[in-house]
Amino acid sequence: MNDEVLTRDDDGVLVITINRPDAKNAMTKAAAEGIAAALDRLDSDDHLRVGIITGAGGTFCSGMDLKGFLRGETPTVEGRGFGGLTLSSPKKPLIAAVDGYALAGGLELMIACDLVVANADAKFGIPEAKRGLAAGAGGLIRLPEQVPSRIAMELALTGDFIDARRAYEIGLVNRVVDGPAIDGALTMASAISANGPIAVRVSKQIIVEARSWPADERWARQAQLLPQVFESADAREGAAAFAEKRSPRWTGLWIGVEKGPR
Same domain, 173 and 57: yes
Alpha-carbon separation of residue 232 from 196, 202, 216, 251, 255 (angstroms): 10, 12, 27, 9, 5
Q: What share of the chain is helix, strand, coil (3-state, %, to 5)?
A: 45, 20, 35
**Residue 69 pLDDT class (50, 70, 90 cuts):** confident
Going by C-alpha positions, the residue among 172, 138, 180 that lies closest to residue 54 is 180
The one-character DSSP state at 177 is E
Q: What is the largest CA-CA distance in the chain?
A: 62
Residue type, 155: L
Same domain, 106 and 223: no
Same domain, 65 and 155: yes
Same domain, 183 and 221: no
Q: What is the CATH number of the domain that holds 180?
A: 3.90.226.10
Q: pLDDT tens digits for 13-53?
A: 999 999 999 999 999 999 999 999 999 999 999 999 999 99
This prediction has a pTM of: 0.93
d(CA 175, CA 261): 33
Residue at which a domain ends, from 165, 193, 221: 193
Instruction: Write down the pLDDT at residue 1.
Output: 52
**Residue 262 pLDDT class (50, 70, 90 cuts):** very low
Tell me the pLDDT of the chain averaged across its residues: 94
Q: How many CB atoms lie within 10 A of CB 117?
A: 28
Instruction: Write down the pLDDT at residue 256.
Output: 58
Confirm if 175 and 117 have CB atoms less than 8 A apart: yes
Q: Is the pLDDT of residue 75 over 50?
A: yes
Q: Is the pLDDT of residue 259 over 60?
A: no
**Residue 66 pLDDT class (50, 70, 90 cuts):** confident
The residue that leads in pLDDT, 66 or 233, is: 233
Bridge partners of 162, per DSSP, are 124
Confirm if 139 and 128 have CB atoms less than 8 A apart: yes
Residue type, 122: A
Q: Which domain holds residue 211?
A: 197-261
Alpha-carbon separation of residue 105 from 94, 178, 248 (angstroms): 17, 24, 40
Q: Is the pLDDT of residue 67 over 70?
A: yes
DSSP-assigned letters across all residues of 39-57: HHHHHH-TT--EEEEEEGG
Confirm if 65 and 30 have CB atoms less than 8 A apart: no
d(CA 225, CA 223): 5
Q: What's the total number of domains in the chain?
A: 2
Instruction: Write down the pLDDT at residue 258.
Output: 46
Same domain, 81 and 204: no
Residue at which a domain ends, from 193, 219, 246: 193
Q: Which helix (H) or strand (E) holds 115?
A: strand 115-119
Catalytically active residues are 108, 128
The residue that leads in pLDDT, 185 or 256, is: 185
Question: Three-state SS for 164?
Answer: helix
Same domain, 139 and 244: no
Torsion of CA 5, 8, 9, 10, to 10 degrees: -120
**Residue 3 pLDDT class (50, 70, 90 cuts):** very high
* Percent of the chain topping pLDDT 90: 90
What's the average model confidence in pLDDT over 159-166? 97
Q: pLDDT tens digits for 76-114?
A: 999 999 999 999 999 999 999 999 999 999 999 999 999
Residue length, the chain?
262
Residue at which a domain ends, from 193, 212, 238: 193
Instruction: Write down the pLDDT at residue 253.
Output: 77
Same domain, 157 and 171: yes
**Residue 260 pLDDT class (50, 70, 90 cuts):** very low
Same domain, 213 and 158: no
Q: What is the CATH number of the domain that holds 210?
A: 1.10.12.10
Spell out the residues 6+ positions from residue 128 whose beta carbon is closer than 8 angstroms to its own. Answer: 63, 104, 134, 135, 139, 156, 159
What's the average model confidence in pLDDT over 200-211? 96
